[in-house]
Amino acid sequence: MERTAPAAPPDGSPPDDRLPDVAVLLDGMPRQRSAAEQAASEPREASTAVPTRRFDVRLARRLFPTPTGTPFTFGYGAVLVAVALVSARLSPALVHTLHQGSSTDVAHLVRTPVLVLVASALWIAGGILSPYAVALLFVLTALERRIGGTRTAAVFLLGHIGATLATEVPVGVAVLVGHLPASSLHRLDYGVSFGVAASLGALAGLLRPWLRWPLLALFGWELATDLITFTDPLTDWGHPIALLTGIATWPLVRQWHRERHPLRAG
């Protein structure tokens, strides 16, 4: 479309300044941007895309343990991986002997309670690719980032020790009164699952409701399924006990979270 200017008056006087300039009116119509304008806008668009990608990378990294961000989870996970790799090179008979020596059964708890409670937490039943091993990685990482390494270790040990004693002490009492044979004092019991269950229960108290309740419902359903099948009664009862132990720490872990992240709390 061509631009036109108003015709001059017949008497030769200058155009009336009150009349709008048609060229100005036509400037409001859409037009193609020049190459210079396009080039000037491209750096701004590129600069806004980079921080978004970096944010996504940082968010993804927070799911995994790091030596500085989550030292307890990182160090404990490294020990578990090292134990698993070394035991994979040993003979099955020797590994079974080590499992028996690390078992938190009644006989060992009476003689060397501290030793077996620590040693039993160095083994992962099912290997490093088992569901509880994967859960340990993500659950402990998330919990440690919220309440710190020392307090995460305390929650883990509370579940590990509490659920172990809650399941083994009744066995010892039952043997004493004659309801169970003496062989029940030497059952095989080791692994990290009690500590993981307690840590998951504690972590749920720090999550938003839309994530907290589905997570507890899903894990609770898995534990209920194990109780129905009842293949390993003491372990199957120990997991719900450990989960409830973690849930019981909600007031404490929420206080720890407020102390560690005062701006995020509430």
Q: What is the mean pLDDT of residues 32-58?
A: 53
Find out whether 180 and 201 touch, Cβ atoms under 8 Å: no
State how far the Cα of 28 lies from the Cα of 263, in Å rounded to an integer: 49
State how far the Cα of 175 lies from the Cα of 158, in Å rounded to an integer: 26
Look at 24-33, 177-186, 205-214, 257-266 and tell me which has the smallest mean pLDDT.
24-33
Look at 98-102, 127-131, 151-155, 192-196 and tell me which has the smallest mean pLDDT.
127-131
pLDDT given at position 212: 97
Three-class SS string for the chain?
CCCCCCCCCCCCCCCCCCCCCHHHHHCCCCCCCCHHHHHHHHHHHHHHHHHHHHHHHHHHHCCCCCCCCCHHHHHHHHHHHHHHHHHHCCCHHHHHHHHHHHCCCHHHHHHCHHHHHHHHCCCCCCCCCCHHHHHHHHHHHHHHHHHCHHHHHHHHHHHHHHHHHHHHHHHHHHHHCCCCCHHHHHCCCCCCHHHHHHHHHHHHCCCCHHHHHHHHHHHHHHHHHHHHHCCCHHHHHHHHHHHHHHHHCHHHHHHHHHHHCCCCCC
Look at 27-41, 152-166, 176-190 and tell me which has the smallest mean pLDDT.
27-41
Look at 38-42, 112-116, 126-130, 140-144 and tell me which has the smallest mean pLDDT.
38-42
Find out whether 235 and 168 touch, Cβ atoms under 8 Å: no
pLDDT at 266 over 50: no
Instruction: Provide the whole-model pTM.
Output: 0.77
Pick 62 or 218 by higher pLDDT.
Answer: 218
**Tokens standing for residue 164:** 């172990």
Q: What is the mean pLDDT of residues 228-232?
A: 84
Provide Rg for the chain, Cα atoms.
33
Look at 40-44, 131-135, 243-247 and tell me which has the smallest mean pLDDT.
40-44
pLDDT at 45 over 50: no
Find out whether 120 and 102 touch, Cβ atoms under 8 Å: yes
Angle between helix 131-147 and 193-204 (nearest 10):
40
- What proportion of the chain, given as a percentage, has pLDDT over 70? 76
Find out whether 70 and 140 touch, Cβ atoms under 8 Å: yes
pLDDT at 102 over 50: yes
Residues 6+ apart with CB under 8 A from 153: 72, 76
pLDDT given at position 160: 97
pLDDT given at position 262: 84
Q: Taking all residues of the chain, what is their mean pLDDT, rounded to a whole number?
A: 84
| Per-residue pLDDT band at 49 (split at 50, 70, 90) | very low
pLDDT given at position 222: 93
Look at 16-25, 52-61, 137-146, 168-177 and tell me which has the smallest mean pLDDT.
16-25
State how far the Cα of 123 lies from the Cα of 96, in Å rounded to an integer: 12
